[in-house]
Chain A
Amino acid sequence: MSPVDLDAIRFPGQQTDERVFLFLRRHWISFVGPVLIVMVMVLLPIIMTVFLRYLTFDMESVLVNIFQGFDSIDPGLRAKQMLVFMYSAYYFFVASYFLVLWLDYYFDITIVTNERIIDISQIGLFNRVVSELYLTQIQDVSGNQKGFLQNLFHYGDVIIQTAGGKNNFVIDHVSDSYGVARKIVDLQEALMERRISVDDAVKVE
């Protein structure tokens, strides 16, 4: 559930007595879609070349004709150089696109501490939304796993209902959503007990 060292995690605004109990990322299956898109993008020039050859259409000869139209010296060589340039520029773009998709996946994080839940949503490269919810504000926590894939890979959403008119807090596509929901309820109960015992101690004094 938490592959990183929880004690080593530090985040802005962390209080001295605040301990991290869960460090959640979306299940790896959520990243399969973007990986497939990038794989198609990587294979696309090869597939296109084979397909166009099948249709007796050669990209290199098209470039040779273009260079001849511009009265270039040695259009054959220049067409080859242009093809290498086009392919490398394209793969440059694909690599950058992959990095953005990976950032979007990997930097979507939810941290559950003994005090609160911090949800960091990375949307593309330029948008980052950080929202937090104190455990005392939680009214109900439920975990769900919907559909074939979620049951097969044992992941789902955790829906947290909050007190007041606030929107529900949803942790998407986490591994073992039932376990996460249970842990959040346990942490909330532990926090409540701690507060009650502190209040009792104050009354005795």
Chain B
Amino acid sequence: MDLLFAITLIVYALLMLVLLVFNVMAIRHILRYRFKGDVSMGVLLGYVLVIAVLVLVTTFSLMALGVSSFIGGGV
């Protein structure tokens, strides 16, 4: 593992921690304060789908960075 990957990993961990707190708060807020018949559940579903794709892309790109930092570019 090289230094740059270690820095990226730390940045990623911090980003995920902050976003996790924000997202948990936001989702809890919607579930708690929504009114029957409003669009909040639809927006929440759309948001969760977008976030799921972004989490996958971010995690896989980080994994690819990690693999190439150990064994080189032939992956």
Q: Which residues of A contact B (CB under 8 A)?
A: 3-5, 8-10, 23, 66-67, 70-74, 76-78, 81-82, 84-85, 88-89, 91-93, 95-96, 98-100, 102-103, 106-107, 109, 120, 125-126, 128
State whether B37 touches A8 (Cβ < 8 A): yes
Residue of B2, B19, B39, B65 touching A81 (CB-CB under 8 A): B65
Expressed in whole angstroms, the minimum distance between the Cβ of B30 and any Cβ of chain A is 7
| Chain A interface SS verdict (over half) | helix
Instruction: Decide if B43 touches A102 in the complex (CB within 8 Å).
Output: yes
In the assembled complex, the CB of B62 is this many whole angstroms from the nearest CB of chain A, namely 6
Contact call A77/B68, Cβ cutoff below 8 A: yes
12 contacts between A and B (CB under 8 A): A66-B4, A71-B2, A74-B74, A81-B64, A84-B64, A85-B58, A88-B57, A91-B54, A92-B15, A92-B19, A103-B29, A106-B43
Q: Which residues of B contact A82 (CB under 8 A)?
A: 4, 8, 61, 65
Nearest residue in B to A77 (C-beta to C-beta)? B73
Residues of B within 8 A of A (CB): 2-4, 8, 11-12, 15, 19, 22-23, 25-26, 29-30, 33, 35-40, 43, 47, 50-51, 54-55, 57-58, 61-62, 64-65, 68-69, 71-74
Chain B residue contacts of A23, Cβ below 8 A: 35
Contacts of A8 in B (CB 8 A): 35-37
